[in-house]
Amino acid sequence: YSRIGSSFCNTLIRYLSTYVGIDPHNSLITKVESSRSSGKSGVLGDTSFIAKDNITTKGTFTTSGSLMLSNYKSPFDATVVDLLEEAGLKLIGKANLDEFGMGSSNTNSYYGSTLNPLYENEERVPGGSSGGSAAAVAASLASFSLGTDTGGSVRLPASYCGVIGFKPSYGRISRWGVIAYAQSLDTVGILSKDVALAERVFNVLDKYDDKDPTSLPESIRTQVEKHQHLSSKSKFVIGIPQEFILEDLTAQARSQWLQVLVKLLKAGHELKPISIPSIKKLLSSYYTLATAEAASNLSRFDGARYGFNDEEVKETAYKTLTENRSKGFGPEVQRRILLGNYTLSSESGNHYLKANELRQRLVGEFNETFRFYNPLLSEYVSKSNGCDILISPTSIDPAPTIDEYKSKSKENFLTGYINDILTIPASLAGLPAISIPLPAAKQGIQLMAQYGDDKTLLQAAKSIE
């Protein structure tokens, strides 16, 4: 704390007790600590961690950043929490998020906005939706934190807060106990200060879980391990997708980018310009699929079985349902439910199918690009001239101020969605991706690898960190 200044420290603590450790009733950071088993020495020593508040933890509240779940206590721990505690780690708090993971700034939480600890005298967004998880690591409150990444929610906050944000391949880490936003995309991710720790945590969490129907089966895990063992190498072919080269990167970001590319060339890696044409159309595909899944997932919060229940509106079942949902969900969540229900209705034509077709085309283009075959396909064809890794910026800009972000989104809510353009390709294709900080630029650089090739991704990340 002394390094980041005492006035900053006070602000931080004020915000953390309210927002990062969000317990609407009390200070969760202490409460979690006292109600959980104490950390014992295991593979990761006595490291402490913080979990995003859409990851269920027994005995404490899990609010998902929503009034709808302000009183919700899960009767079970998420598999990820169980695995970490079995490895001797200690859960010390829950972190703020955009309500149900919907957002890119952490300004959509019912409990208020988290501040970005990188900026001492300004109120800047930490990115979203795992903004609390990224801020907690940046402020050294825990060794690492868990977030969830549906379309970039681990990588964007990592980029804004100057920490590592790793989203593994879809299905490698269990989603059991993670409150669903869009289940075909939701992935638990890890935020930390260095790649080595993220890797060690990943090794603990990378397990088949029969409670999660989308968990990657053992047979494919074994196949991937075998391939990675046979083909491991230290010099990579690194593709730069032209669709990701942004005109409006800041001068600082450009110069840091160049330094990274020069470092890679000097280390003997090969750089290769490539193209993934579908990227240009992905935002509409992502927001069609994610909102459709969200509308369906959030239908369980009806004020009767789960969630916010205003005693005053009990007159009829219809009123209970509509009024509790209108009061319990914030405006962005309501917008997504409307969009999703529209997409799923016959009136929308075939938006949903078209979005899925685009997703398939994207996966095909990635398969053509990478050297490593896609282990989910029945034919294993490796491309000797393919790329091992792709590289791009993680975010368009460094973190905006909270006021700037809010006023732009008020003018047009789509501005908030545009931020996701760089992160959703890996989400839609289920690829592993990681954001590594470029300190002088105050934003991150993103690496992506073929589905299942998480180990190569982490190895490459270590070489540029």
Q: Which residues bind ligand GLN (CB under 6 A)?
A: 101-104, 129, 149-153, 181, 290, 420
Assess whether 52 carries a catalytic annotation.
Answer: yes
Please say whether the beta carbons of 21 and 28 come within 8 A: yes
**Beta carbon of residue 114, minimum distance to ligand GLN (angstroms, whole number):** 15
Catalytic residue among 66, 70, 133, 153: 153
Question: Of 104 and 374, which has the nearer Cβ to ligand GLN?
Answer: 104
**Beta carbon of residue 430, minimum distance to ligand GLN (angstroms, whole number):** 13
Count other C-beta atoms under 10 Å from residue 203's C-beta.
Answer: 14
Taking CB atoms, the residue at the shortest distance from ligand GLN is 153
**Beta carbon of residue 108, minimum distance to ligand GLN (angstroms, whole number):** 8
Question: Of 103 and 126, which has the nearer Cβ to ligand GLN?
Answer: 103
Catalytic residue among 52, 90, 167, 455: 52
- Separation CA 459–CA 166 (nearest Å): 12
* Strand intervals (E) in 181-288: 187-192, 237-241, 270-274
Count other C-beta atoms under 10 Å from residue 64's C-beta.
Answer: 31
Count other C-beta atoms under 10 Å from residue 197's C-beta.
Answer: 19
Question: Of 370 and 417, which has the nearer Cβ to ligand GLN?
Answer: 417
Please say whether the beta carbons of 106 and 125 come within 8 A: yes
**Beta carbon of residue 352, minimum distance to ligand GLN (angstroms, whole number):** 16
**Beta carbon of residue 141, minimum distance to ligand GLN (angstroms, whole number):** 21
Assess whether 17 carries a catalytic annotation.
Answer: no
Chain centre to alpha carbon of residue 388: 23
Question: Of 61 and 100, which has the nearer Cβ to ligand GLN?
Answer: 100
- Separation CA 218–CA 116 (nearest Å): 39
Catalytic residue among 104, 109, 113, 129: 129
Which has the closest alpha carbon to 373: 384, 381, 365, 364?
381
Q: C-alpha dihedral over 424, 185, 456, 137, to 10 degrees?
A: 80
- Separation CA 57–CA 400 (nearest Å): 32
Question: Of 150 and 446, which has the nearer Cβ to ligand GLN?
Answer: 150
Q: Which residues are catalytic?
A: 52, 129, 153
